[in-house]
Amino acid sequence: MHDLIIVGAGTAGAVLAERLTASGRNRVLLIEAGGEPKSPFVKIPAGFAKLFRGKLDWGFGSVHSRGDVRRDIVVPRGKMLGGSANMNAQIHQWCHPADFNGWAANGAAGWSWEDVRGTFAAQECLSGSGAPERGRTGRMTVTPVADPHPLSKAYVAAARRVLVNSGDQYNGGAYEGAWISEIAHQGGRRYSAYDAYLVPARQRTNLQVLKGATVSRVLVESGRSVGVEVDRAGQSIGFRCGKGVILAGGAFGTPYLLLHSGIGPAQDLSKLGIRAVLDVPEVGRGLQDHPLVPLVFATSRTDTFKNAESISNLLRYLLFKKGMLASNAVEAIAFAQSSRAVEPAPDIELIFAPFEWRGQGLQPPQRHAFTIAPVMVKPKSRGTVTLSSPRPGESPVIDFNLLADTERHDMQVMLEGIRLARQVAVAAPLGGDAIGEVDPGPLPQTEEALADWIHRNVQTVYHPTSTCRMGNDTGSVVDPQLRVRGIGGLWIADASVMPSIPRGHPNAVVAMIAERAAALIEEADTANWPSPRSSVLEARKTHAYQTV
């Protein structure tokens, strides 16, 4: 029997597997629904969009509705060892001190900026110049884009003319301004948490990795997690553990599994015919992601990534690991405060790519262009992850509820982001290469028309969080030690526990959470469970619990 079971082998699962096997004291089982990350588009940095809707993608989707606007939103999530870290744009970001101070102020004690900044530094191995607070000896290899496109360099210079710039780097402290992206690369290839943590951990005899296995439910006996039930090749198998189960399935997978395990809103579970093990109303609630709309500008240059798949570029990458295919595609980022910012921290990001972003990344560029995509990084709107069926294996129902806050705060910030993007596009030196706005172009002139265009084109940056909120109140799904309230021996250590979405690209934040979770779990007195939920739990003590 294993001591610990980890569900999900993405960024969080990879970090947990390495850290919880390092001492040799724990026998760990890591379970992943996908398989090996074998596609060449995993390692080729610019190839990540080729993985969308493929065999290494869960293929989730969401519907965005507003009046007569109804459109599908692509929700790519990695279904492989390494998870979404093996199909993202590889941007490495600690995010903003205000994010973590906000978590702590709202009940996540021990998760302030001062509490977490040391973990970020300890995990990274930064190449090149950087401030003293940056890490140099960690597992996560980080480097600025090695050979950014001339348009990306021009974008940074133009954005710095329009925006306040707070320094030479955006990691390590507060930030506002524009920079070439720092990315998870090594030798011209993607170097994800899979490479940094899971590959070396798999050499240890106290780690077992089970691939192609979908966990259908957490097994609970007398208020304690004792294992999981797994579907593998159509066969149901039970795995028990001595210390507990750690959920690392992400903001979609973790609430999905809890709900199928009878841990969630009892009323909703009852409607689906699922017996409630524990009434936890917030499971699957609070979903956040960063809304994005791509503004496309035609350029007089003929060396954009429209040519990325040419024979010459392919040979340059194969022979030297350089050129367009060695790019992470999102080569530059900028952050700014809107007039509606509620605290001294950015609420707008402007993402830059030296190509035409087309059809949510599913379609190749058709013209020489560049894209500036305004992103709302501190949204108020929240959505849900729910079940469509009591049968495990069917996709979750994902409703981002984008731009839907009643005060229209999110929409107003997005409109301001578009105005900033247009200013940057015409500022020197980038403006010298631009020959006109292609999308949305000249048609949407009024605020109402532009808002309509936003609803017809909005997508996300693939940063889902906050569906199993951490806090010190009994309504939170996990406490600040990441223990699921009311169930002993059950932890969550992924993006779902974030009380609110951070201002930026959160892969490094997920790794930080998993690193700190591993320490908390190793220090835990597993006999002292469960952490309290509320008086509701007292009333439910007589319930029968699911068993093997």
Catalytic residues: 463
Q: Is 366 helix (H, G, I), strand (E, B) or coil?
A: coil
Positive/negative CA dihedral, 504, 510, 513, 519: negative
Strands (E), 198-342: 207-210, 214-221, 224-232, 235-247, 263-264, 278-279, 285-287, 291-292, 295-299, 332-336
Q: 161: left (phi > 0), else alpha (psi -120 to 50), else beta?
A: alpha
Q: Which two tokens stand for residue 296?
A: 């496309």
Q: 102: left (phi > 0), else alpha (psi -120 to 50), else beta?
A: alpha
Measure the CA–CA gap between 75 and 462, rounded to whole angstroms. 7
Measure the CA–CA gap between 241 and 235, rounded to whole angstroms. 20
Measure the CA–CA gap between 202 and 18, rounded to whole angstroms. 8
Distances in Å between the alpha carbon of 100 and those of 36, 93, 463? 34, 13, 17
Contacts of 441 (CB under 8 A, 6+ apart): none
Measure the CA–CA gap between 541 and 388, rounded to whole angstroms. 28
Question: Shortest CA distance to 512 belongs to which of 62, 253, 222, 197?
Answer: 197
Measure the CA–CA gap between 242 and 262, rounded to whole angstroms. 21
Q: CA-based angle 530:536:537, to the nearest 5?
A: 25
Q: Which residues of 369-388 are buried (b: 16+ CB within 10 A; e: fewer)?
A: bbbbbbbbbbbbbbbbbbbe
Beta-carbon count within 10 A of 161 CB:
15
Q: Pairing state of beta strands 383-386 and 285-287? A: antiparallel
CA 507, chain centre distance (Å) = 6
Measure the CA–CA gap between 480 and 487, rounded to whole angstroms. 15
Measure the CA–CA gap between 239 and 422, rounded to whole angstroms. 55
Question: Shortest CA distance to 125 belongs to which of 78, 69, 191?
Answer: 191
- DSSP secondary structure letters along 166-188: --S-SSSS---EEEEPEE-EETT
Which H/E stretch holds residue 513? helix 507-523
Task: Decide: 347 and 503 in contact? Cβ < 8 Å.
Answer: yes
Which residue type sits at 514?
A: A
Q: Is 291 helix (H, G, I), strand (E, B) or coil?
A: strand
